[in-house]
Amino acid sequence: MEKQIVVIAGPSGGGKNTIIQEIMRQCPNCTLLVTATTRLPRPGEVDGVDYYFFSERKFQLELAKGNILEHRYIEKLGTHYGVYKPDLEARLQKGHIVLAHLDIIGAKFLKEKYNATTIFILPLSHEELFERIRSRNPSMTPEELGERMRIAGEEITDHAPLYDYRVINATGKLLDSVNETMAILKKEGYNLGVV
């Protein structure tokens, strides 16, 4: 099976989205998977670009039709997230390399069903991650910051070892992380269409 899907994951503040954006800037053949959710759009978010924003009913209907390939329910948020098959299939049919930022459940599914390569983006240190998360939202309460750090620690300890590759994204070294990630994809046989 030709390699077409890459899962790039990591804790909040780890830099996965920035790395994905930079790979897409450099590689015209790469596109971003748009997943489905039942949460409401945030200001500036666009349906079909940031997420497919579905009502609970529509999500359940799409799930019943087999259009939600894998999903998870975040009880604390009362929100569903899932891989939306029509979006994924359309991108694959165009011959694109599909970049997806999913959790370990989504990563395992795409690896098993679509031969995806999975990459976990790690911070250089716990302290560096703490500073990044705090600087992104300085008004965050100490409790919220603590919870985000707890979740990030769990992802790094429990999930990162399950990915095919781990890339360290140190502050100020973004280009190194992007180059390392792209080198992995080239080694794995992806046609990035680099300009």
Is 60 exceeded by the pLDDT of residue 195? Answer: no
* Tokens read off for 37: 């959710």
Q: 104 and 71 in one domain?
A: no
Containing structural domain, residue 70: 33-95
Q: Tell me 47's DSSP state.
A: B
Q: Which of 56, 74, 95 is the last residue of a domain?
A: 95
Q: Examine residue 37 and state whether it is found in any structural domain, yes or no.
A: yes
Instruction: State whether 80 and 110 are in the same domain.
Output: no
User: Cβ(24)–Cβ(117) under 8 Å?
Assistant: no
The answer to whether residue 49 sits within a structural domain is: yes
Q: Summarize pLDDT for 45-56 with one digit per residue, the tens.
A: 999 999 999 999
Token pair, residue 15, equals: 């830099």
Same domain (yes/no): 64, 152: no
Query: pLDDT of 102-142, one tens digit each?
Result: 989 899 999 999 999 999 999 999 899 999 888 887 888 88
| Helices 174-187 & 16-26 angle (0-180, nearest 10) | 60
Answer yes or no: pTM beyond 0.85. Answer: yes
Tokens, residue 56: 């609970």
Indicate the average pLDDT of the chain.
92
Residue 62: give its domain's CATH number.
3.30.63.10
